[in-house]
A and B are shown apart, each in its own frame.
Chain A
Amino acid sequence: MAENSAAYSSLWIQCARSLEAELSEQQFNTWIRPLQLVADGAVVKLLAPNRFVVDWVRSHCLEQIRAWWTRHSESGAEIVVEVGSRPVARRDMPTREPEARAVAAPAPASASALGGRLNPAFTFESFVEGKSNQLARAAAVQVAQNPGSAYNPLFIYGGVGLGKTHLMHAVGNLIQARDRGAKVAYVHSERFVSDMVFGLRHNTIAEFKRAYRSLDALLIDDIQFFARKDRSQEEFFHTFNALLEGQRQIVLTCDRYPKEVAGLEERLKSRFGWGLTVAIEPPELETSVAILMSKAAAEGDALPEEVAFFIAQRIRSNIRELEGALRRVLANARFTGRAITLEFAKEALRDVLALQDKLVTIENIQKTVAEYFKIRVADLLSKRRSRSIARPRQIAMALAKELTTHSLPEIGDAFGGRDHTTVLHGCRRVKALRETDTRVAEDYNNVLRTLTA
């Protein structure tokens, strides 16, 4: 059998080569490259990552593959294409066996009952504490040490890329470290919704419910994704109640305070507030520096403090972006064999920083918008309210809101001392118009590209 497999694999490589010569490069790389061959007795299976690929291969080249196979193999094996992936030894634990996935042909691979798996790198030890996240961290440690009884649910909120997901995984990891048998699942809300839809469609909703309700701890990320998904909210509400009644721990994250999530049922919002609600703020400079140093150390690289300060000062938006910049510096150093100095970091991040520099000033936005609409910057700052001036002004305000970290009152000040409500109105107006008026959408995108290209 193993011999068979090896022979079949080498045949498949040759067969793929012959297809490569006939298909366009793009077609080959999209439809043929991801296929995996599995020999199963007298059947040779080509496993595709999803139904879409299966359909394409069946209608465009299955005949060809079969003909090729008949010419080159004496086995007489039947060739079929179906959804699945070759079983592999994985670090993580999918809740369904890989083989089972291969058999359940119509199921997208994302349909495993619980998407949840914990990232072992996200621990409390690797979480850098600062003023901005102290409270959230302390609460999370409490929860991990006393799951189900300290604060339930624990609700962590804050902007994107500030470490909410890290804290959440840390809770899960610590719970499991203290109790190996604890059933902990980390699930992104979007995944919860799609799993539920899958369960409804394939009549496995009972299994879905059972899986969620038997957990010791459920960690649900970005619950703002539940907004306006009534059926998912309903299901989540019951899951939530069942877990809470059984004194199982729930940790939730969201990009804003629960009460501010539009499209979320009141009864859910109120329940989210039953335990403890804590915020994570953007990190102050020192915390950013500490985060960079700790990440570099975790990768086994030494990062001089002045380089860490340099990166932290220049990239202020969020920690994810900060880490992206750091990885870029570390990778460049690794590939070129050069030491990480301030000069080296500046060079490695040149295009990233040029972008940041361009992004940050309101003046630059005003200048670019004025040039684009063939008006003067002074017009943008003036009291004039004719459409030909007011619209560009609103677009400039919206861009300032999107591309800079300035507050609404600061943007108002920079536009001839306008009130922050005027800025807010302008931003909302532009957002609405971009959806309904293609010209506004186009203008906006053109200026955006000029500013960031």
Chain B
Amino acid sequence: MAQLPLALTLADHASLATFVAGDNEAAVQHVRAVAGGAGETLWLWGAGGCGKSHLLQAACRVATAEGLRAMYVALGSAQPELLAGLESLDLLALDDIDTVAGQANWETPLFGILNEFLARRGGLLLAAAVSPAAAGFELADLRSRAAGAVTYRLKALGDRERALAVRLHAEARGLELDPAAADYLLRRVDRDMRALTAWLDRLDRDSLVEQRRLTIPFIRERLTGGSSE
């Protein structure tokens, strides 16, 4: 008998507790400091799935807990008007900033925001696939201010760290995933953490619906195309 999964799944919200830092310890610590009110601008960059969005959203969560006003914006799916008035926030996290570089209707408000945050030392977290110099800003002033951010390149996790990350994410969802099953999953899905957590979501839902434990045969069935619907 199928069971409605919604009420029973535990939410795995982006938090610093489930973020495995690996080689990115300094970046994570710095993000934590900014989320706690250290007024600085950080530029985090790296390939997709290395944890940028997770870090940014986790930082917003920390800021809220500290009583600060925070907001996360994924620029790739937003409109420039959304930036109006955001100068007053304590922490602003702008994701995918490189996807709007080179567009005048974005660059002018972005420049205003960088200027304001620098002037009053607000917390600004910027994330991109590339470094500030390679983002392709047309506005020289914006380029220069972005280059003045403290930049961190986020590195992908090693195998052992990915295993730890999967365990933490599974725990956050209330999933029981034994080491052998975790290892099986890790070896077979894409290396980036986004793909991994998406699979965890799906396995979580499917195992609830079908009332099955997360065994290797069950995972294999899913990975080889068994539909969950």
Point out residues on A near B: beta carbons under 8 Å.
Answer: 20-21, 25-26, 29-30, 33-34, 36, 49-53, 83, 85-86, 91-92, 108-110, 117, 119, 160-161, 188, 190-191, 194, 222, 255, 317-318, 320-321, 323-324, 327-328, 331-332, 335-336, 348, 351-352, 355, 359, 403, 445, 448-449, 451-453
- Contacting pair A318 B147 (CB below 8 A): yes
Known A324-B151, A359-B133, A445-B136; judge A34-B69 contact (CB<8 A): yes
- Cβ < 8 Å to A, chain B residues 19-39: 25-26, 29-30, 33
- Contacting pair B141 A222 (CB below 8 A): yes
For B30, B69, B85, B131, the residue with the greatest tally of chain A CB atoms inside 10 Å of its CB is B85
Choice from B86, B88, B140, B150 contacting A255 with Cβ under 8 Å: B140
CA distance A6 to B27 in the complex (A): 35
B14 at interface by CB-CB < 8 Å: yes
Q: Point out the residues of chain B lying under 8 angstroms from A448, CB to CB.
A: 134, 136
Known: A160-B140, A320-B145, A320-B148. 16 other contacts (CB 8 A): A33-B71, A34-B70, A34-B89, A49-B85, A52-B81, A108-B84, A109-B85, A188-B115, A222-B141, A324-B150, A328-B152, A351-B152, A355-B133, A448-B136, A452-B130, A453-B130
B82 at interface by CB-CB < 8 Å: yes
Q: Point out the residues of chain B lying under 8 angstroms from A194, CB to CB.
A: 112
Choice from B88, B130, B148 contacting A49 with Cβ under 8 Å: B88
B57 at interface by CB-CB < 8 Å: yes
State how many angstroms separate the Cβ of A395 from the closest Cβ of chain B. Answer: 14
B64 at interface by CB-CB < 8 Å: yes
B211 at interface by CB-CB < 8 Å: no
Interface membership of chain B positions 199-228, coded 1 if the CB is closer than 8 angstroms to chain A and 0 otherwise: 000000000000000000000000000000
- Contacting pair A255 B89 (CB below 8 A): no
- Contacting pair A30 B147 (CB below 8 A): no
Q: Which 3 A-B pairs have the closest CB atoms?
A: A320-B148, A452-B134, A160-B144
Q: Point out the residues of chain A lying under 8 angstroms from B87, CB to CB.
A: 109-110
> Can you report 18 residue pairs joining A to B where beta carbons are below 8 Å apart?
A20-B13, A33-B60, A34-B71, A49-B69, A50-B85, A91-B120, A92-B120, A117-B119, A119-B119, A160-B144, A161-B145, A190-B112, A194-B112, A318-B147, A336-B25, A448-B134, A451-B134, A453-B130
Known A25-B57, A85-B69; judge A331-B150 contact (CB<8 A): yes
B189 at interface by CB-CB < 8 Å: no
- Chain B residue, CB-CB nearest to A119: B119
- Contacting pair A324 B148 (CB below 8 A): yes
B73 at interface by CB-CB < 8 Å: yes
CA distance A49 to B92 in the complex (A): 11
Q: Point out the residues of chain B lying under 8 angstroms from A119, CB to CB.
A: 119-120
- Contacting pair A110 B14 (CB below 8 A): no
State how many angstroms separate the Cβ of B89 from the closest Cβ of chain A. Answer: 6
B168 at interface by CB-CB < 8 Å: no
B11 at interface by CB-CB < 8 Å: yes
- Cβ < 8 Å to A, chain B residues 66-124: 69-74, 78-79, 81-82, 84-89, 93, 108, 111-112, 115-116, 119-120
- Contacting pair B69 A348 (CB below 8 A): no
Known A92-B120, A452-B130; judge A161-B112 contact (CB<8 A): no
CA distance A92 to B119 in the complex (A): 11
- Cβ < 8 Å to A, chain B residues 135-183: 136, 140-141, 143-145, 147-153
- Contacting pair A50 B134 (CB below 8 A): no
CA distance A328 to B111 in the complex (A): 22
Q: Point out the residues of chain A lying under 8 angstroms from B141, CB to CB.
A: 160, 222, 255
State how many angstroms separate the Cβ of A204 from the closest Cβ of chain B. Answer: 17
CA distance A25 to B18 in the complex (A): 15
- Contacting pair A324 B147 (CB below 8 A): yes
- Contacting pair B11 A452 (CB below 8 A): no
State how many angstroms separate the Cβ of A112 from the closest Cβ of chain B. Answer: 10
State how many angstroms separate the Cβ of A111 from the closest Cβ of chain B. Answer: 8
- Contacting pair B72 A327 (CB below 8 A): no
State how many angstroms separate the Cβ of A258 from the closest Cβ of chain B. Answer: 17
- Contacting pair A317 B30 (CB below 8 A): no
Choice from B81, B116, B147 contacting A321 with Cβ under 8 Å: B147
State how many angstroms separate the Cβ of B205 from the closest Cβ of chain A. Answer: 15
State how many angstroms separate the Cβ of A35 from the closest Cβ of chain B. Answer: 9
- Chain A residue, CB-CB nearest to B47: A453
CA distance A352 to B45 in the complex (A): 11
Q: Point out the residues of chain A lying under 8 angstroms from B78, CB to CB.
A: 30
CA distance A327 to B149 in the complex (A): 9
State how many angstroms separate the Cβ of B61 from the closest Cβ of chain A. Answer: 8
- Contacting pair B133 A52 (CB below 8 A): no
CA distance A119 to B115 in the complex (A): 12
- Contacting pair B136 A50 (CB below 8 A): no
State how many angstroms separate the Cβ of B136 from the closest Cβ of chain A. Answer: 6
Q: Point out the residues of chain A lying under 8 angstroms from B85, CB to CB.
A: 49-50, 83, 108-110
- Contacting pair A33 B70 (CB below 8 A): yes
- Contacting pair A30 B71 (CB below 8 A): yes
